[in-house]
Structure 1
Amino acid sequence: MKLLYYTWDEYCSYDIRQCFEKLGYEYRVCSYEMKNKLESAEFTEQLQKLLEEDDYDFIFSFAYFPVIAEAAAANRVKYVSWIYDSPLYSLYTDSVFHKYNYIFHFDSTEVERLKKCGVDHIYHMPLAVNADRLGSLDKEDGFLYDVSFVGKLYRDQYNFFDQIKGMPEYYKGYFDALIQTQMKLFGYNVIADVLTPEEFKKISAFIGFKNDGQMFLDARDMFINILEKKVTAVERTGLLKALSRYYPVTLFSDVTDAELQNVAFKGYVNYLTEMPDVFHRSRINLNITLRSIQSGIPLRCLDIMGTGGFLMSNYQPELAKLFENGREMAMYESKEDLLDKVNYYLTHEEERKEIAYLGREKVRKEYDYKVAVQKIVEIVKTDKLS
């Protein structure tokens, strides 16, 4: 098995390379900083040279890059992409319809959505961890943190909703109410149902938000995504603030928020060298899913469990389907439920440790990179292109 691996310095790069090596796959690394993710003449030329120099079973990347898809189709080489963001806008470009694409997506709802758009060769594939790396880490014993959250607050340049200028007061109130309603619901996208195409048409004028035509994802879908990020920003800050009234809470992020006066702020932690220790030394590790992820299990959940940390997550359909709540992890369904369960698991240490152990064992056995990659390769190898 020989493959061309394109890396953009994603934090999974080290783990996937180790996986390829342990499976005995021969691979060549291709790296190029793309300023334009949709097209690049220079990168296309570089890819073309690499594909002419050797024969590859397929090209592989995390995320999906139209530039690679076009080069792969031109050279009749299969292109395998593994997606861990949702939605990923590059999937909504015409290149996604090439028959040489093999797209593996962690969110089954997005898989079905793209299938309805006519995309072939798209499959559901949960994300994975490097069980060998996590098992070999030297981790100190003893808890340092009661409740920890590792992730973005989306209060900075990622908060596109607050950057909209000239929104009438009526619609500010309308969207505030919609955001508050969505925060109370998990597993159901009320924003998409309420913000119909007709309703969006009324507000699109003052939003000034348009699709440039390069994607077949319409402006309404993109605005819904902006609203979902805003929901996540309000939700994460609100839950951390509520928890910090009763328990010691620690935030690991690039920035904090003025509302989180009682939350200890520790800054950014490195994915490979520092994050596993945070999970291991926290009694409870929170996952508050980005609301644009409709059903999939975020990588953070698997990272926490794979390290042996105790996971407390919002309800997420695939997490509920693939893991047992209260046995391998714990889920909450409201702010009040979260407060109650944090109190319960902080005071029931042995039960909490048993859940963390069972979650770790399942993730390392069933959601290791070697397991997932072999499934991917089997699908790609057995499919005969016409």
Structure 2
Amino acid sequence: MKILYYTWGEWMKTDVVSTLESLGETVEVFDKKLENYDSDSAFEACLQEKLKAGFDAIFSMDYFPVLSTVAKDAGILYLSWISDCPNLTLSSKTVTNDCNRIFLFDEMLYKNLKARGANVRHLPLGVNTKRLDALLGPLKEDMTYSHEISFVGSFYQDGYRQLEKVQNMPEDLRGYIDGVVAAQNLIYGYDMVSELFDETKVKQLERIAPVNLGDGYEIASAEIYRDWIRKEVTVKEREELISDLGLLFPVSVATDSLPEMCSNIANIKNLGYVDYINEMPKIFRESKINLNFTLRTIQSGLPLRLTDVLGAGGFLITNYQPELPYYFENGNSIVWFESREHLLDLCAFYLRNDNSRGKIRENGYNIVRKAFSYERLLGILLSSIKE
């Protein structure tokens, strides 16, 4: 199969392209900047010209309606592997195009799109342990650590928080949303936002902050607003948990913007932005404990950060996600927490128990090396479209 791979600067490009080639596919990369996800005449003309060389499919990480439209017109497949959630482009009416083959790492999102009639399949995100082994060397029992506890990720201090932009929000609505955020922050593995932020509250917010993605999209404003709240839950959760941990233990944070409530705690050290390919894996390997706090917009699936850490041979404590038991056993190949107090207790325990930590990280590494390898997952992807 001859595949045109569209890249938008995603981290996974090198691993995906090299794996597709190792599986016997012919791959060319297309990297023209896309100005509009739905319609971009200059981009489309360039892409159509490129396709004249003869391709069987267009491939991208995440979903781009314009790629689906062009693939449909050209009579070829469009392969999309979703790595982000929310992914508003999945609300485009183009998702049901016959040319589409969409692969989703989140089972709940998969079920929602399947119900809409899209050609979808559930497929977790992968990791290239061969590349990471070449970078870091083999796992060792007698590790030398540079960090006690590490968190690599964003605190979303930029324009990510849409609720902060809403003007003239009534105090009763603001207070209610704050209550929903606080309640959801206490619960892992179950989405309360859908129930608590009901249609009455949706209509109240809609009057002061209307949203409209255009005629080409099929998404209720209710789900957009609920994702705004889920994002706010994530922001508060990360700030509060890192602050709580920093009052008890040395914590290394790799982020481009550290919140004020964390920067004032002496135990918390900001490493700044780190490169995904070379620097980030070293932090994972050289930390006694790595932390993952999944975006609350990911309701069931396993985020890329989880496989990043385990693939680098890192020990991971993560929040609970419904799909974790599909692949992992708690306390054997990964550790998950279910409350703030539980997280603090787990960190204290595993910082003291090197042997237990070493066995768990080795088991976790062996699982992702096999079950989450790009060779296996892209093999499944390619086999499914040839059925």
**What TM-score, normalized by structure 1, do the two folds share?**
0.96
Contact 2:132 2:281 in 1 (8 A): yes
- Matched AA of 1:179: V
Residue matched to 2:48: 48
Aligned length: 380
Is 2:137 the partner of 1:122? no
Residue matched to 1:365: 370
Matches within 5 A, 1:1-386: 1-54=1-54, 56-119=55-118, 121-138=119-136, 141-260=143-262, 261-262=264-265, 263-382=268-387
- Matched AA of 2:294: T
SS of match in other structure, 1:86: coil
Contact 1:154 1:230 in 2 (8 A): no
Runs of 4+ residues deviating >3 angstroms: 138-141, 208-214
Give per-residue Cα distances to partners, 1:352-371, cap 9 Å, x unaligned: 01100110111111111011
Classify 1:65/1:305 alpha carbon distance in 2 versus 1 (closer, same or farther; 3 Å): same
Contact 1:313 1:332 in 2 (8 A): yes
Contact 1:154 1:229 in 2 (8 A): no
SS of match in other structure, 1:254: coil
Query: How far apart, in 2, do the equivalents of 1:282 and 1:125 lie?
Result: 29
1:11 deviation in Å? 0.7
1:50 deviation in Å? 1.8
Contact 2:180 2:197 in 1 (8 A): no
Q: Give the CA RMSD over aligned residues.
A: 1.3
Give per-residue Cα distances to partners, 1:9-36, cap 9 Å, x unaligned: 2111111122123222211111111121
1:138 deviation in Å? 3.5
Contact 1:187 1:295 in 2 (8 A): yes
Contact 2:71 2:77 in 1 (8 A): yes
The share of aligned pairs that are identical, in percent, is 35
Mean CA deviation greater in 331-340 or 170-179: 170-179
Give per-residue Cα distances to partners, 1:231-280, cap 9 Å, x unaligned: 10000000000011110011111100110122111111110010000000
1:206 deviation in Å? 2.0
Contact 1:305 1:363 in 2 (8 A): yes
Structure 1 portions without partners, runs of 5+: none
1:313 deviation in Å? 0.2
Structure 2 portions without partners, runs of 5+: none
Contact 1:63 1:82 in 2 (8 A): yes
Give per-residue Cα distances to partners, 1:59-104, cap 9 Å, x unaligned: 1110111111001111110111100111211111111111110000
Query: How far apart, in 1, do the equivalents of 2:85 and 2:100 lie?
Result: 18
**What TM-score, normalized by structure 2, do the two folds share?**
0.96
